[in-house]
Amino acid sequence: MIKPHGSNELNPLFVYDAQENEALQKEAQSLPGIIVSSAAAANAVQLGGGYFNPLKGYMSREDALSVANNMRTASGLFWPIPILNLVEDAGSIKAGDRIALKDPNIEGNPILAIMDVEGVDEFTDEEMAMMTEKIFRSDDTEHPGVATFNSQGKVCLSGPIRVLNFSYFQSEFPDTFRTAVEIRNEIAEHGWEKVVAFQTRNPMHLAHEELCHMAMKRLGCDGLVIHMLLGKLKKGDIPADVRDAAIRKMVELYFPKNSTMVTGYGFDMMYAGPREAVLHAVFRQNMGATHFIIGRDHAGVGDYYGPFDAQTIFKEEVPEGALEIEIFEADHTAYSKKLNRVVMMREAPDHTKEDFVLLSGTKVREMLGNGIAPPKEFSRPEVAEILMDYYRSIKQ
């Protein structure tokens, strides 16, 4: 199986031993505690599940600035985006303290992790601006990722953590949430050697489905892991439970049995385009995928990125050998009226725009909201029905 990033073995930071976990939970009650941001909580969940291997915790100011500048930590580890615990005010917390990190997303703010604080440092305005520009390629506060990143505070708490639970993800999505450890184990149980991963924060329409079939066939893969984001999204995105139901129905009806895993991970969407695409590749390698589909406008939002910037970054900015996972580059896919099947548009040079069934996201949402199923060339009817039910429910 493909090696994790940065080490020979996966090193999840979750405390799996029940007695040790219980002891740490008890200890945490007597420690100074802070309620972290949702982004920092999501980072803890990813660290706990092994997705951010080989990191041991939150990055220092020095590592964060180095990663933002050149995608390397100060010690030289390739990493695309700073993994931070930012707060507005650290209060009396200082280096050497042991603190409890409290979950902002669950009522009562239960203990999420214990942290051994190695550094308490404040970024300057100029450093925050530099990191924002490098990570998001924008400083526009209308960009949801830029807004979230700059709303957490400038004080950086760095140091190793021990993760004690997986926030709301395990309880709300018991059939879907999986750690990198669990996905690796399941891939091994299947006996899959070549595995392609598909990232989604949206329901999958016919073009997405066919793209997965194409990748599996062209790469000669044994299996597919559909890996959906279960964390915070921007306003207007379809909730995770609805996406989950729609994707499961599609897989049940239109994929060969035992060929596909439907899974999810507990991370908040950053909408950081190219840099986030590289981060996505890191944690797909950590979960055992050998290949990763990067399509049009991967992890993007609005018009902040070019349609294929998330592919270009792997050629122009990711050093050769930095990652073992391979990228499957996908063009925009659409149903060809001439060929009566879904194709990658670049592979149909004799087509005009009128030869494709093309619907904007806005148009699809409008149709679904009005109880109108998109054409069969765009969406499977069983998937459309689930989405129409959702839109009907929010109109009431």
Which member of 11, 21, 109, 202 is catalytic? 202
Contact of 174 with 302, CB cutoff 8 Å: no
* pLDDT in the model for residue 359: 76
Q: What mean pLDDT comes out for the span 114-139?
A: 98
CATH class in words for 18-170: alpha beta
Query: Cα–Cα distance between 317 and 81 in angstroms, integer?
Result: 13
Token readout for 328 is 């499957």
- The angle at the Cα of 230, spanning 394 to 342, to the nearest 5 degrees, equals 80
Task: For the chain, give the longest Cα–Cα distance.
Answer: 69
Structure confidence by residue, pLDDT tens digits, 242-274: 999 999 999 999 999 999 999 999 999 999 999
| 202 flagged as catalytic | yes
Question: Tens digit of pLDDT for each residue in 325-383?
Answer: 999 999 988 999 999 999 999 999 999 999 998 877 778 878 888 889 999 999 999 99
Four-residue CA torsion sign, 351, 356, 361, 362: positive
Which residue spans of the chain are classified as CATH 3.10.400.10? 18-170
pLDDT tens for 63-73 read: 999 999 999 99
Residue 396's pLDDT is what? Answer: 64
Q: Is the pLDDT of residue 105 over 70?
A: yes
Judge whether 21 counts as a catalytic residue. Answer: no
pLDDT value at residue 90: 95
pLDDT at 183 over 80: yes
Q: What's the average model confidence in pLDDT over 378-393?
A: 92
Average pLDDT over the chain, rounded to whole? Answer: 95
Give CATH 3.40.50.620 domain extents, the chain.
Answer: 175-395
pLDDT in tens, 300-309: 999 999 999 9
Amino acid 368: pLDDT = 86
Pick the CATH number of 175-395 from 3.90.850.10, 3.40.50.620, 3.40.1190.20, 3.40.50.720: 3.40.50.620
Q: How far apart are CA 39 and CA 268, in angstroms?
A: 6
At 225 the three-state DSSP class reads strand
Lowest pLDDT segment from 78-87, 124-133, 186-195, 338-347? 338-347
CB neighbour list of residue 310: distance below 8 Å, 6 or more residues apart = 273, 274, 276, 277, 294, 297, 298, 299, 300
290 exposure class (CB count in 10 Å sphere: 0-12, 13-18, 19+): buried
pLDDT category at 231 given cuts 50, 70, 90 is confident
Report the percent of the chain where pLDDT is more than 90: 87
In this predicted structure, what is the pLDDT of residue 381? 94
Relative to beta strand 98-102, strand 86-87 is unpaired
> Looking at 201, 275, 284, 380, which residue is catalytic?
201
pLDDT tens track for 195-204? 999 999 888 9
